[in-house]
Structure 1
């Protein structure tokens, strides 16, 4: 996999003893909490930290696993049968992390916007709505669907215009654990990363399906990678070295 560069987050901090109070705020009583639009993690006043909000739009052909990925990251049940998402579904995921340079925890509020591919093609206003004030676009392909991988370049060009360089592009390959059925090889992925300069993140078909904190540990690397890429963008925009002491954006 192409390198992301030196990590600006402390790896594994949330699952360490120091991160336990923050973990408990999103995972009380060994049960992942699902947050409503106006809800947020509750912490004691002495542990209050800044909250940084990002909007992420998921793009990909029907069936690649957009809805399943969001459910996995949010800790909700993954739909057992594929159904085309009829409109826009927004899901909020809170993810505490610790910045290595400052040693300060930050809570990232990730707003995932999932819209069915059929609805996007039918209603022209949906794509602009999904991209409005978005910080990143997640381009999904399935390791079991080669056509979804081959369509990535055209998909990225169609969704992100030349004047939208502020949008962070993230490529995620789903169903990575179904290797016997894989239509996309590691060589294909390496060639793509070298051509486009975009690391490919991997998500299994049942990622996070297990209950308890074991499931959380399995999604942690992907959530860390997402918030780290977004944080780097903000630090560069603010003229601060990505690993520096910049303040969280308002």
Structure 2
């Protein structure tokens, strides 16, 4: 079986356009005329705030735009900012303070990307829980933080490990947490996010440590300042982070289909 760069394949609920996965997603596409023409579906221009959609709602985009759905499980020690990360990516810029997540919280984020010559709408389901909830609900969540497929209907497509740039020990936990995911048969993608990042400031986790980690684990660390105030539309402020998350999910699917092709 051979594929060209224009090939379109489906695996589960994911559209796979090409086996060549390098630079598939255009990181600056939202700044283009085409990208800006779709943005009014995602935020209110008068307030520069994100639009939120209910369970049965979605952005009113043209029917020609395909939608792919992914489930992302958030892990990391208590207090590093897991809930703040999801809140920030969802467009809740004003979120502040620390409140431990009670039970399991699910947040859905819609995000459009340009993959080669095709616009794809990513529907990202973020699942967030706390260490106390994991202990409380250990009948559905084992201590290794892996969601049991019998308890959660949808499979986990990616595991997002969160640490704080102000807490070196939380960064040191990342390899162990990633290794705890390696036994999952579906091989979810690895996403790593560092919170409380402040450029040109002295941080407990240095750029040298980040570079060494990325080189060893071949995983991009996504930096985010969850308390950053912005004057431009917030959708541009988190576009880099969301694009990288979508890129990771896309690459994970491309790797899967490439292995299937080799087996054929």
Q: TM-score range by the shorter chain?
A: 0.7 to 0.9
TM-score scaled by length of structure 1:
0.83
- Equivalent pairs counted in the alignment come to 229
Which residue matches 1:247? Answer: none
Match of 1:197 among 209, 218, 222: 218
CA distance in 1, matches of 2:41, 2:188: 30
Instruction: Judge which range, 7-16 or 231-240, deviates more.
Output: 231-240
CA distance in 1, matches of 2:39, 2:257: 29
CA distance in 2, matches of 1:93, 1:83: 21
Matched, 1:94 2:94: no
The Cα shift of 1:235 comes to 2.1
The Cα shift of 1:179 comes to 5.7
Instruction: Judge which range, 83-92 or 124-133, deviates more.
Output: 124-133
Match of 1:210 among 216, 225, 230: 230
Whether the aligned pair in 1 keeps the contact of 2:230 and 2:237 (CA below 8 Å) is no
Matched, 1:113 2:134: no
Match of 1:229 among 237, 242, 248: 248
Match of 2:162 among 137, 140, 151: 140
Matched, 1:174 2:174: no
| Cα separation, partners in 2 of 1:25 and 1:234, compared to 1, 3 Å | same
Query: Where does structure 1 lack aligned partners over 5 or more consecutive residues?
Result: 241-250
The Cα shift of 1:43 comes to 2.3
Query: Where does structure 2 lack aligned partners over 5 or more consecutive residues?
Result: 1-20, 260-264
CA distance in 2, matches of 1:135, 1:115: 17
CA deviations over 1:159-190 (Å, ceiling 9, x no partner): x1424352001111111117645111111112
Question: What's the secondary structure of 1:239's corresponding residue?
Answer: helix
The Cα shift of 1:115 comes to 0.6
**Coordinate RMSD, CA, aligned:** 2.2
Instruction: Judge which range, 120-129 or 216-225, deviates more.
Output: 120-129
The Cα shift of 1:205 comes to 3.0
Which residue matches 2:89? Answer: 73
Which residue matches 1:50? Answer: 66
Matched, 1:154 2:180: no
| Cα separation, partners in 2 of 1:85 and 1:130, compared to 1, 3 Å | farther
CA distance in 2, matches of 1:191, 1:87: 35
